[in-house]
Amino acid sequence: MSSSERLRILGYEPLTESDWETGLHPMDDLLRGERLPHIWCQGCGLGTALSTFVNALQWLEKNQEWDLDKVAVVSGIGCTGRIAGYVRLDSFHTTHGRAIPFATGLKLANPELKVIVLSGDGDLAGIGGNHLIHAARRNLGITVVCVNNFIYGMTGGQVGPTTPHEARSVTSQYGNYEYPFNLPYLAAASGASFVARWTTLHARRLGWTLRDALAYPGFSFVEVIAPCSTAYARWNPDGKGLDPESLRRRGLEIMKHYQEVGRIEHDIHPKDAHIKLNEKGEMAEIVEGEFVKESRPNLQEAIDQRDVWAEKAWQRAKKALDERPDLPAQTEHIPRTEVQLGGFGGQGIMSAGKIIGRAAALYDQLESCFTQSYGPEARGGAAGSQVIIASDSIHHPHLVRPGSMIMMSQGAYSKYIPNLAPGGMLLIDSELVTLPDDHRADITTYGIPATRIAEEAGNNRAANTAMLGFWTAIVGAVSQDAMRQAVIESVPPKTVELNAKVFDIGYERGLET
């Protein structure tokens, strides 16, 4: 189909003029000119973070042949979250804290994409902290750039998960009584394979690191310490309030301060990558550098390693489907037939019920509805399963008055026997269920030593199969061939012969009764 035909079908009419504003700035092939000016305050570090990022992409395009059409940027909410809206790339401004899981979906659905999360400290380490550590743990092949300004800027300067101890903010006016995350340490401990930190003062070094981080195959995490000239600076030493003139100056002062307190230390343990205030509450130390570069398979590589197992499983499933025989459908009208199975965990009460249902549905071509008892009683202890078989639709999926029961433990017998319909048939493993003196006289009871029969055939776990053979012969709602086939295809391949034999014994015993 041609483009024009496709557009006609879509009812889509392209604009007649270009929608993009370009030609204003050396970076504007990667910036949305029509969205500028940006919303950030004067003196804010976010502009530097953005231009450094764009620079790194341009470098990768030029020197490593990156196709920038394949780059997607995802942001959360906050001042940094607005970055996604300014880059001329496929870009997503998602919900607060959720940039990383959104990016996870993009990356896993199309591993060819280069996916970058650019968001703030509150977004990534506060509300989105759980996603951060899990993406690092998985070694998902994306880059997370976390711009850390120590505060919730957009909402007006509240204390956050990275606000230094004792620092002030709108909601910590008496000094922050909590302790902040050390983000490189958190990321590294969670499994990030590339971890670095720079302040926006070190824009060139940050740029070099970003190039490496973006090209890194595993989860790369870059923290960018950036001044928040409005919200953070307002509350902390030498804050000059909100006057625009002093805001710009404030930004510069902070950068100068970074120069004084920044200490570059590559390859140190990230737990030693401190950010410290002095007793006056001024920034006293920011350790920066590239701390971790580790190589281990990224998530996609680890996923791809399983393909061979998936292929084997598929071949097995296909073989089982292809090998199903054609058996004659049931021609008689089968009225609604309810069966209750009961026993203890491990006896195969669930699989026995399912086998009856399967035989009826797939081979006798009847309606059949199988349910099992969930809930606490299904763990360990008593196990119960139910099957309804009928020629007509089964509207009500629960047993109303079961006409037959297969009981393989004393507990199950006591629990279920009151429900058996008058005149109903009770089938028991005669060595596991002892009939009490007041056993119901209005029903017929049939017993075989199913567990012993199975044991003698070589595996006591086939006791349920013996009961199925017995039930088939006595109750007759499902045909013998259908049941036998359903048993064969439901048991472990190595036990097919044994189960078939045990089924036949049970069936013979049923006929003799």
Partner 1 sequence: MSEEKGLLTGEHYLLGDHACAEGAILAGCRFFAGYPITPATEIAERMSVRLPQIGGTYAQMEDELASMNAILGGSWAGVKSMTATSGPGFSLMMENLGLGIMLETPCVLVNIQRGGPSTGLPTLVGQQDMMQARWGSHGDYAIIALSPTSPQEIFDLTIRAFNLSEKYRLPVLVMSDAEVGHMTEKVVIPPPQEIEIINRPEVQRGDIEPDHFRIFRDSANGGEGYVSPMIKVGDGYRIHVSGLTHDERGYPAMYAEANEWNVARLMDKIHANRHDIIQVEEHDLEDAEVVVVSYGISARTSLWPIQQAREEGLKVGYLRLITVWPFPEERVRQMAKNVRALVVPELNMGQIVREVERCAAGQAEVVGVNRPGGDILEPHDVLNAIRRAAGHV
Instruction: Count the site residues for partner 1 by CB under 8 A.
Output: 81
Residues ≥6 apart with Cβ < 8 Å to 269: 291
In three-state secondary structure terms, 454 is: helix
Question: 307: part of which helix (H) or strand (E)?
Answer: helix 307-322
Separation CA 318–CA 321 (nearest Å): 5
Least distance (Å) from ligand SF4 to the CB of residue 245? 15
Among 49, 103, 154, 502, binds partner 1 (CB under 8 A): 103
149 makes contact, choosing from partner 1, ligand SF4, none, with CB < 5 to 8 Å by partner type, with ligand SF4
Listed ranges 64-72, 227-235, 284-292, 435-443: which one lies at the site for partner 1 (CB under 8 A): 64-72
The candidate with the shortest Cα–Cα distance to 160, out of 184, 133, 126, is 126
Least distance (Å) from ligand SF4 to the CB of residue 38? 9
Separation CA 286–CA 300 (nearest Å): 35
Rule CB under 8 A: is residue 218 a binding residue for partner 1?
no
44 makes contact, choosing from partner 1, ligand SF4, none, with CB < 5 to 8 Å by partner type, with ligand SF4
In the 3-class helix/strand/coil scheme, how is 216-282 assigned residue by residue?
CCCCEEEEEECCCCCHHHHHCCCCCCCCHHHHHHHHHHHHHHHHHHEEECCCCCHHHCCEEECCCCC
Among 101, 126, 157, 161, binds partner 1 (CB under 8 A): 101
Q: Name the token pair of 437.
A: 């003196």
230 makes contact, choosing from partner 1, ligand SF4, none, with CB < 5 to 8 Å by partner type, with ligand SF4
Least distance (Å) from partner 1 to the CB of residue 65? 16
Cβ(49)–Cβ(84) below 8 Å: no
Rule CB under 8 A: is residue 35 a binding residue for partner 1?
yes
Least distance (Å) from partner 1 to the CB of residue 12? 5
The candidate with the shortest Cα–Cα distance to 316, out of 492, 437, 461, 473, is 492
Separation CA 500–CA 265 (nearest Å): 71
14 makes contact, choosing from partner 1, ligand SF4, none, with CB < 5 to 8 Å by partner type, with partner 1
Separation CA 110–CA 479 (nearest Å): 50
Least distance (Å) from partner 1 to the CB of residue 186? 15
The one-letter code for the residue type at 489 is E
Rule CB under 8 A: is residue 357 a binding residue for partner 1?
yes
Rule CB under 8 A: is residue 452 a binding residue for partner 1?
no
Cβ(426)–Cβ(342) below 8 Å: no
Least distance (Å) from ligand SF4 to the CB of residue 56? 21
383 makes contact, choosing from partner 1, ligand SF4, none, with CB < 5 to 8 Å by partner type, with none
Residue 2 has phi, psi (to 5 degrees) of: -80, 160
Least distance (Å) from ligand SF4 to the CB of residue 42? 8
- 101 torsion bin: left (phi>0), alpha (psi -120 to 50), beta (else): alpha
Cβ(53)–Cβ(210) below 8 Å: yes
318 makes contact, choosing from partner 1, ligand SF4, none, with CB < 5 to 8 Å by partner type, with partner 1
Among 48, 52, 80, 91, binds partner 1 (CB under 8 A): 91
Indicate the residue among 82 and 501 with the shorter CB distance to ligand SF4: 82
Which residues contact ligand SF4 (rule: CB under 6 A)? 40-41, 44, 46, 79, 149, 153-154, 228-231
The candidate with the shortest Cα–Cα distance to 50, out of 35, 67, 66, is 35
- 23 torsion bin: left (phi>0), alpha (psi -120 to 50), beta (else): left
Indicate the residue among 46 and 477 with the shorter CB distance to ligand SF4: 46
Rule CB under 8 A: is residue 317 a binding residue for partner 1?
yes
41 makes contact, choosing from ligand SF4, partner 1, none, with CB < 5 to 8 Å by partner type, with ligand SF4
Indicate the residue among 79 and 136 with the shorter CB distance to ligand SF4: 79
Q: Name the token pair of 137.
A: 């743990």
190 makes contact, choosing from ligand SF4, partner 1, none, with CB < 5 to 8 Å by partner type, with none
Least distance (Å) from partner 1 to the CB of residue 178? 23
Indicate the residue among 18 and 63 with the shorter CB distance to partner 1: 18
Least distance (Å) from partner 1 to the CB of residue 484? 16
DSSP 126: I
Applying the rule CB under 8 A, the residues between 378 and 437 that interact with partner 1 are 393, 395-398, 400
